[in-house]
Amino acid sequence: MALLGRPSRHPPALADGLTARCLPRYALPVTAAAVPVAVLGLFAVTGLQGVAGFVVVSALLFAAAQTALSYLVEGRRSAVDRLCTALLCLAFAAAALPLLLIVGYTVRQGLKVVDLQFLTHSMFRINPEKVGGGVYHAIVGTLVQALLAAAMATPVGVLVAIYLAEYGGRRRFARLVSFVVDVMAGVPSVVAGLFIFTAWILVLGFQKSGFAGAMALFVVMLPVVIRSADEMLRLVPDELREAAYALGIPRWRTILQVVLPAALGGIVTGVMLGVARIAGETAPLLLLVSLNQRIEFNPFAGQTDPRPQETLPTLIFEQFGVAAGNAESPPFQRAWGAALVLIVLIGLLNLVARFVARFARVRG
Amino acid sequence: MTTSDVVGSPTASQPAPPPPPGQRPAWVEPDDGSSGLAHGGGDQGDRVFRALTAAASVFVLLIMAALAAFLVYRAVPALAANTANFATEQRWSPDADQPRFGVAAALYFTLLTSMIAVVLAVPVAVGVALFITYLAPRRVSEGMGYLVELLAAVPSIVYGLWGFTVLAPNLAGLVSWLDRWFGWTIVLRYRPDNEPNSYSPLAAGIVLAIMILPIISSLSREVFRRVPREQVEAALGLGATRWEMIWMTVLPVGRAGVTSASLLGLGRALAETLAVTMVLSTAYNLTVHITESGGVTLASIIVLKYGEAGEVGTGALVAAGLCLFVITLAVNFVARMILARQKVG
């Protein structure tokens, strides 16, 4: 455990007393060097091949070899310890590798098409199967809808969080609200999309629009905002409230002018993380926003001319469909370009959120 | 249910319920006017503000009630028109003259891909959590945690693109290998003669595993962090190796937390839409051979079919969505119950 200082690299004398034998220092590097060579030989002799196979076999063989060495020299308990340590390291590698692969591949593919033209032009009058055009219209749509959803979710979410943290206490109604917020956090985003689709479009008869998409995003984002704001408000020390009451300030003004400002940084972080989450949402938007090649700033634009706003995720899915599985075709390249833009956008939101969190902790 | 319940300004449209009576924290003076001196003119404002926050809470309840109500309202007519058994029918042709549709295939593949994902992700995620909490040098452990959580920031559609172009085609070698050595398990047998192009439940499960890894590992880290430090120190002080310490003190304390984290991850996997839709090539026949291409899930069927759906078809998709909603609700509920019991105990 980090807090404890590390146990020494070689577990100190175990049951055998102070003279327990340890693997010499050079043992592990030598093993690490010998294993890939051995695996190369193995690959040459047998029919095995492939980079992935080589890495996996080497890693497992290294874990096994050092365990065996340790068992011979240091005994069973150390061997188990070394084996499990190696496996935990491998687990971390297995988790970090996909991230590097996915982000790396997206960047490599995306950079082939992303340039100033790509970022500042729409797909209007561009044949999607040919090279050209850009995703400006989709960036506009994603930003407008995400901000609209945030503009709806933030006030409602913060009010609910204030109720839960300040007024609710252990009252039955507060516990019910808290439970429903948990349920809401578990609603699949495609179901949120279906809900708006049935309620807004089928029953009430409105057209598909950016606003309909924003409403579905609102349903997805609301529980995120409520949970984070609730937690932040509870972190504000009671002494602040007591001091305010002692000065004769009514409760609502205490909340608005003392408690909320103290928790503001955390609440803003929660909102930013919520926006980052919904900016990448695809499923509800596929149901609620339809294809459009033009730049459209108005989220209320309906199905006929002008058409609803395009967004980055829906654009990626459409171009993926146009490409029909051909990874070298222009629409597929365009999809990767849009994916890169989307990842950078969400990454920036996350970074800003962390930045805000670091410099605006709950003050007491 | 009116428009305003769903979309209108949340605060204007709801009648404010009278604040329910109840005890309040000891440090709050009653605002019933008895201590008018302290509160000056604040009573009125306080009542209004409190009603406002309560109204927002009621609004949240109304949204969820409306969500359930609208889904049921649209699903029921379609289910009534269905001439096949909704639970056992595999095919999906709701807009035929004789509507026949059912969730057997979708439900089966939803559970199958999610289970594959959980089986693959949980050991790795727990390993990552242990590695970051107990093994990694303190200076880099925070950064490593952040790195893993970055996986959660990648949008699902990018996972779909990657799974389709990179992962699935490159699984061919693994699929052949599994078939050769583990074909006897039947589950891993690959029957077609052609070169495997694995747009299969296994590929979808692997993509889902990568997607749910960060949530499971970050929740597990929270749990491991709460293990009493005295126990850890005592184990090490008695001469336990690091692994013995983890095995004897950390894992027993963390078991309930890890279980509920896994269930929350399962809930995520069940609900995932785009990544699965793009990786899995659509097919409606049930098969136990997880390396063979084909399958459809509750979420992917909605995305695949909404464009061509007619009157009954839309209702059928809503019914599939309702089905998905109920399953995820149950899974999340069990997960939170385990967590709550853990906190009390």
Last residue of a domain, one of A60, A83, A109: A109
**Whole-number Å distance between alpha carbons of A136 and A142:** 10
Q: Does residue B277 contact residue B109 with C-beta atoms inside 8 Å?
A: no
Between the two ends of chain A, the Cα-to-Cα distance in Å is 29
The number of angstroms, rounded, from the C-alpha of B306 to the middle of its chain's C-alpha atoms is: 22
Which B-chain residues 295-314 have CB contacts (< 8 A) with chain A?
299, 302-303, 306, 314
Largest CA distance in chain B: 88
Q: Do A95 and B28 touch (CB under 8 A)?
A: no
**Per CATH, is B100-344 categorized as 1.20.1050.10?**
no
Nearest by CB to residue A188, choosing from B43, B48, B328, is B328
Res A14: pLDDT: 47
Residue A162: inside a domain? yes
Give me the domain span that covers residue A58.
Answer: 2-109
- Which chain A residues have a beta carbon less than 8 Å from that of B40? 248, 250
- Which chain B residues have a beta carbon less than 8 Å from that of A316? 157-158, 161
Which B-chain residues 127-186 have CB contacts (< 8 A) with chain A?
127-128, 130-138, 141, 144, 147-148, 150-151, 153-162, 164-166, 170, 173
Nearest by CB to residue A347, choosing from B141, B153, B306, is B153
Q: Are residues A91 and A185 in the same domain?
A: no
Beta-bridged to residue B93, according to DSSP, are B100
Q: How many residues does chain A have?
A: 364
> Over its length of 345 residues, how does chain B's per-residue pLDDT go in tens digits?
333 333 334 444 444 444 444 444 444 444 444 333 444 445 788 889 999 999 999 999 999 999 999 999 999 999 999 888 888 888 888 888 888 999 999 999 999 999 999 999 999 999 999 999 998 888 888 888 888 888 888 999 999 999 999 998 888 888 888 888 888 888 888 877 776 677 899 999 999 999 999 999 999 998 898 888 899 999 999 989 999 999 999 999 888 889 999 999 999 999 999 999 999 888 888 888 888 888 899 999 999 888 888 889 999 999 999 999 999 999 999 998 888 887 654
- Which chain A residues have a beta carbon less than 8 Å from that of B57? 159-160, 163-164, 173-174, 177
Q: Does residue B280 contact residue B201 with C-beta atoms inside 8 Å?
A: yes
CA of A124 vs chain B CAs: smallest distance (Å): 23
Amino acid at A239: E
Res B16: pLDDT: 44
- Which chain B residues have a beta carbon less than 8 Å from that of A200? 6-7
Q: Are residues A282 and A217 in the same domain?
A: yes
Residue environment code for A1-26, b if the CB has 16+ CB neighbours within 10 A, otherwise e: beeeeebeebbeebeeeeebebbeee
- Which chain B residues have a beta carbon less than 8 Å from that of A102? 154, 158-159, 162, 210
pLDDT in tens, A143-171: 999 999 999 999 999 999 999 999 987 88
Q: Are residues A96 and A129 in the same domain?
A: no
CA-to-CA dists, residue B6 to A186, A193, B70, B344, angstroms: 19, 13, 11, 37
CA of A112 vs chain B CAs: smallest distance (Å): 16
Q: What is the mean pLDDT of residues A119-132?
A: 84
The H or E element that residue B100 is part of is strand B100-101
Beta-bridged to residue B92, according to DSSP, are B101
Residue A236 burial class via C-beta count within 10 angstroms: exposed 0-12, middle 13-18, buried 19 and up: buried
The number of angstroms, rounded, from the C-alpha of B140 to the middle of its chain's C-alpha atoms is: 29
Q: Are residues A205 and A316 in the same domain?
A: yes
**Whole-number Å distance between alpha carbons of A274 and A270:** 6
Q: Do B155 and A280 touch (CB under 8 A)?
A: yes
**Whole-number Å distance between alpha carbons of B246 and B244:** 5
More confident residue, B325 or A22: B325
Q: What is the pTM of this model?
A: 0.85
Residue A12 pLDDT > 70, yes or no? no
Sign, CA torsion B279/B285/B291/B297: positive
Alpha helices by DSSP H, chain A: 27-45, 51-74, 76-110, 116-120, 136-162, 172-185, 189-196, 210-235, 238-246, 251-254, 260-279, 283-288, 312-323, 330-359
Q: Are residues A93 and A123 in the same domain?
A: no
Q: Are residues A170 and A240 in the same domain?
A: yes
Q: What DSSP designation does B92 have? A: E
Last residue of a domain, one of A76, A109, A142: A109
Res A6: pLDDT: 47
Q: What DSSP designation does B341 have? A: H
**Whole-number Å distance between alpha carbons of A71 and A222:** 55
Q: Are residues A39 and A176 in the same domain?
A: no
pLDDT > 90 in chain A, percent:
46
**Whole-number Å distance between alpha carbons of A82 and A63:** 8
Res B196: pLDDT: 66
Following DSSP, what letter does each residue of A56-78 receive, concatenated? HHHHHHHHHHHHHHHHHHH-HHH
Q: Do B46 and A163 touch (CB under 8 A)?
A: no
Residue A277 burial class via C-beta count within 10 angstroms: exposed 0-12, middle 13-18, buried 19 and up: buried
Helix count and strand count (H, E) for chain B: 16, 2
Q: Do A190 and B321 touch (CB under 8 A)?
A: yes
B100: phi then psi, degrees, rounded to nearest 5: -130, 115
**Whole-number Å distance between alpha carbons of A221 and A117:** 32
Residue A189 contacts B where some CB pair is shorter than 8 Å: yes
Kindly report whether the peptide bond that precedes residue A284 is cis, defined as omega within 30 degrees of 0: no
Q: What CATH number has the domain bearing residue A130? A: 1.10.3720.10
Q: Are residues A91 and A232 in the same domain?
A: no
Residue A222 pLDDT > 90, yes or no? yes
Label residue B295 left, alpha or beta by phi (over 0 means left) and psi (-120 to 50 means alpha): left
Three-class secondary structure assignment of B158-227: HHHHHHHHHHHHHCHHHHHHHHHHHHHHCCCCCCCCCCCCCCCHHHHHHHHHHHHHHHHHHHHHHHHHCC
Residue A296 contacts B where some CB pair is shorter than 8 Å: no
**Whole-number Å distance between alpha carbons of A284 and A304:** 20
Last residue of a domain, one of A61, A80, A109: A109
Q: Are residues A273 and A133 in the same domain?
A: yes
Q: Are residues A17 and A66 in the same domain?
A: yes
**Do strands B100-101 and B92-93 pair parallel, antiparallel, or not at all (unpaired)?**
antiparallel
Residue A114: inside a domain? no
- Which chain B residues have a beta carbon less than 8 Å from that of A320? 160-161, 164, 278
Return the closest-CA partner of residue B147 out of A96, A279, A61: A96
Residue with tokens 């549709």: B101
Res B40: pLDDT: 45
- Which chain A residues have a beta carbon less than 8 Å from that of B11? 159
Q: Does residue A50 contact residue B173 with C-beta atoms inside 8 Å?
A: yes
* ipTM for the whole complex: 0.86
Which A-chain residues 143-172 have CB contacts (< 8 A) with chain B?
155-156, 159-160, 162-164, 166-167, 169, 171
Q: Does residue A191 contact residue B325 with C-beta atoms inside 8 Å?
A: yes
Q: Do A198 and B71 touch (CB under 8 A)?
A: yes
- Which chain A residues have a beta carbon less than 8 Å from that of B243? 80-81, 84-85
Q: Do A81 and B170 touch (CB under 8 A)?
A: no
Res A58: pLDDT: 85
Round the average pLDDT of chain A to a whole number and report it. 86
Q: Give the 3-state secondary structure of residue A328.
A: coil
Q: Are residues A67 and A173 in the same domain?
A: no
Nearest by CB to residue B127, choosing from A87, A190, A336, is A87
Q: Do B162 and A226 touch (CB under 8 A)?
A: no
Retrieve residue A286's tokens: 């596929």
Q: Do B40 and A287 touch (CB under 8 A)?
A: no
pLDDT in tens, A313-362: 999 999 998 888 787 889 999 999 999 999 999 989 888 888 887 776 55
A278: phi then psi, degrees, rounded to nearest 5: -80, -20
In chain A, the number of structural domains is 2
Residue A18 pLDDT > 60, yes or no? no
Q: Are residues A179 and A283 in the same domain?
A: yes
